[in-house]
Amino acid sequence: MRSSLALIALFGARSGASPLAAGGAPSVDLGYAVYDGTQDSQNGINVFKGAQGLDPTEFMTTNNNSFISVIIQYRLGAFGFLSSEDVKTGGVPNAGLLDMSFALQWVQKHIKSFGGDPARVTIAGESAGGAAVMYQAMAYGGTQNVSLFNNIIAESPWVPAQHNYNDEVPTQAYDDFSAAAGCSNVTDTLQCLRDSDSEVLQNASARVSEASAFGSFAFLPVTDGSFVKDLPSTQLVAKSLSGKRILSGNLANEGVPLSPPTTTTLEDFRDYVSYTFPSLSADDKAALEDLYSYEGDDEDANPLAPVYDTDGTSSVTAVNQSTFGTGQQQRVFNVFAESTFDCPSYWLASAFPQAWKYQFSAGPAYHGFDLQALWSGTKTPGASFKHAFRKIWGNFIVHDDPIISVTDAKGGAANSTVPEGADGLIEWPVWTDESPVLLNLNTTGGNATYHPVTEYLKYYTYSDPGVVNVFSVADANAWEGGRGERCKWWLENAKKVPY
């Protein structure tokens, strides 16, 4: 009897400590945040503070229970990503990434006891989890001592600025954290932190994180010279990675809710660029502004302008139009989305020997909404879409190929529209640099529910009955008015971000 495959999923929260754990479920994910549509204090959307409540049962049963899921947690905030010269000398930077690596080693050692196959492991993650699977592939310069996995699913890979472990930015976060914990005026700062109560450290970590700019985080992966040897952009271009194949995804509205929602004027846009990318020169900023130009781009955002999603291929593009904003506001949303999520998903697809790329466009398609389609017990984005999306992930895990049948793609809704290929399968070409193709996963119809979450965050969700799938194949370079060229620019300037 053939043993089941293992999917490893990493999902975490934004700050605080969370214990490393492994358990039986249908996937192994490296992840960041799960949004349920309710409000939190910073971003207007609730975030589960850990993996509790994530139920992959429906995902698993949709795929005939053909793989085993392992969902882990790892240390976060200062507990997982505190860095400085002190930490490097007396401890270890990137502890959260090492937690993940340890969990993968645990799977290699023990998954057979659960009926799993250690030679067929897929690691998956969303947001910071998407970056987490990237960092596991990058580990030790892309040369793991043992093979811990062969497939990767990177959904919305969040790639923030990455500094050397003792650079000014991580060192300042270390100093601020030490001060908040009452350890700034002591002989041995690191020992003082180790002697402090966990609750004190949790509060200090949260205080430093909350002092960061909107949508940014104080404690991040760093170049440590060991586990993380180089910038992601450098290793991705060099294809210095572990893993055989990747399923790489992004959402239509990645800029929401982690980028500032109060942009109105051109000056606001310029201030955002200057603050977010301080190493860009005046010429760089002018080039970026030109790259994200549109007719009337010197005018203020019009609060009465209609908001609606673009279709990715028309003359109306995500540069200045979405269901969340228009003009200068959407310009900020899109710069954040492309620089932080969309373009890294392109680069990851190009870095692996075999790759497939998709965009999750089922509304409202804000950052994190795709998890509604994966986990159990959600009302949106419709049964037909959830069936197809879960089959895509499952096929990739089980068969090393995300291409599903036309029947599964329609998900029981006969009036769904999907690209039909040979042998009853959908058409979905592999991604190559010469022919970068994505599959756009969208829906139409359904019952609309309005969510006025905050003054700045308002959107509709669409539930059954009536949701049908609308899938299409598209040129990723031409997507949204030339996203390929914009991603090329970000890659050329990656060391100025730096990432």
Instruction: Choose, from 126, 254, 338, 480, the residue flagged as catalytic.
Output: 254
Q: Is 226 annotated in the active site? A: no
Amino acid letter, residue 35: Y
Convert the chain into a string of H (helix), E (strand) and C (coil): CCCEEEEEEECCCCCCCCCCECCEECCEECCCCCECCCCCCCCCCCECCCCCCCCCHHHHHHCCCCEEEEEEECCCHHHHHCCCHHHHHHCCCCHHHHHHHHHHHHHHHHHHHHCEEEEEEEEEEECHHHHHHHHHHHHHHHCCCCCCCCEEEEECCCCCCCCECCCHHHHHHHHHHHHHCCCCCCCCHHHHHHHCCHHHHHHHHHHHHHCCCCCCCCCCCCECCCCCCCCHHHHHHHCCCCCCEEEEEEECECCCCCCCCCCCCHHHHHHHHHHHCCCCCHHHHHHHHHHCCCCCCCCCCCCCCCCCCCCCCCCCCCCCECCCCEHHHHHHHHHHHHHHHHHHHHHHHHHCCEEEEEEECCCCCECCCCHHHHCCCCCCCCHHHHHHHHHHHHHHHHHCCCCCEHHHHHCCCCCCECCECCCCEECCCCCCCCCCEEEEEEEECCEEEEEECCCCCEEEEEECCCCEEEEEEEECCCHHHHHHHHHHHHHHCHHHCCC
Among 427, 423, 444, 438, which residue's Cα sits nearest to residue 477? 438
Q: Is 254 a catalytic residue?
A: yes
Catalytic hit among 4, 27, 101, 127? 127
The two most distant CA atoms of the chain are separated, in Å, by 71
- List residues with catalytic annotation: 127, 254
